[in-house]
Amino acid sequence: MTARKLISLDAMGGDKAPSMVVEGAALALERAPDLRFLIFGDEAALRPLLAGQPRLAEASELRHTSDRISGDAKPSAALRGGRNSSMRLAIDAVRAGEADGVVSAGNTGALMALAKFVLRTLESIDRPAIASFFPTLRGESVMLDLGANVECSAENLVQFAVMGESFARTVLGVQQPTIGILNVGSEELKGHDEVRAAAATLRAGQLARQFHGFIEGNDITEGTTDVVVTDGFTGNIALKTAEGTARLYSEFLRGAFKSSLTAKLGYVFARHALSKVRERTDPRRYNGAMFLGLNGIVVKSHGGTDAIGFANAIGVAADMVANRINDRIGREIAQLSVARPAEAVTP
Query: Which parts of this chain interact with its own copies (CB under 8 A)?
Result: 72, 74, 135-137, 147, 150-151, 182-184, 187, 189-192, 216-222, 230, 232-234, 236-253, 255-257, 259-260, 262-263, 265-274, 276-277, 280-281
Give dist(CA 35, CA 257) in Å, integer: 42
Number of Cβ within 10 Å of residue 16's Cβ equals: 17
- DSSP one-letter code for 284: G
Give dist(CA 189, CA 214) in Å, integer: 10
Give dist(CA 207, CA 175) in Å, integer: 13
Least Cβ distance, residue 284 to its own copies (angstroms) = 16
Nearest residue (CB) to its own copies, 175 versus 262: 262
Give dist(CA 27, CA 56) in Å, integer: 9
Least Cβ distance, residue 244 to its own copies (angstroms) = 3
Nearest residue (CB) to its own copies, 43 versus 188: 188
Residue 229's nearest CA partner among 139, 159, 138 is 159
Nearest residue (CB) to its own copies, 14 versus 101: 14
Least Cβ distance, residue 226 to its own copies (angstroms) = 16
Give dist(CA 39, CA 60) in Å, integer: 7
Helices (runs of H) and strands (runs of E) counted in the chain? 13, 11
Nearest residue (CB) to its own copies, 119 versus 181: 181
Least Cβ distance, residue 143 to its own copies (angstroms) = 10
Nearest residue (CB) to its own copies, 3 versus 150: 150
Q: What b/e string do you get for 171-209 counting C-beta neighbours within 10 Å, with b at 16 or more?
A: bbebeebbbbbbbeeeeeeebeebbbbbbbbbeebebee
Least Cβ distance, residue 325 to its own copies (angstroms) = 25
- DSSP one-letter code for 296: S
Least Cβ distance, residue 131 to its own copies (angstroms) = 16
Nearest residue (CB) to its own copies, 61 versus 243: 243
Least Cβ distance, residue 77 to its own copies (angstroms) = 12
Helices (H), the chain: 19-31, 43-51, 54-59, 75-81, 86-95, 108-119, 154-170, 193-204, 217-222, 232-257, 261-280, 307-322, 325-335
- DSSP one-letter code for 67: B
Least Cβ distance, residue 271 to its own copies (angstroms) = 7
Nearest residue (CB) to its own copies, 135 versus 213: 135
Nearest residue (CB) to its own copies, 55 versus 240: 240
Q: Return the half-sphere exposure (C-beta side, CA atoms, 13 A cut-off) of residue 19.
A: 5
Least Cβ distance, residue 63 to its own copies (angstroms) = 31
Contact 194, 153 (CB under 8 A): yes
Nearest residue (CB) to its own copies, 1 versus 137: 137
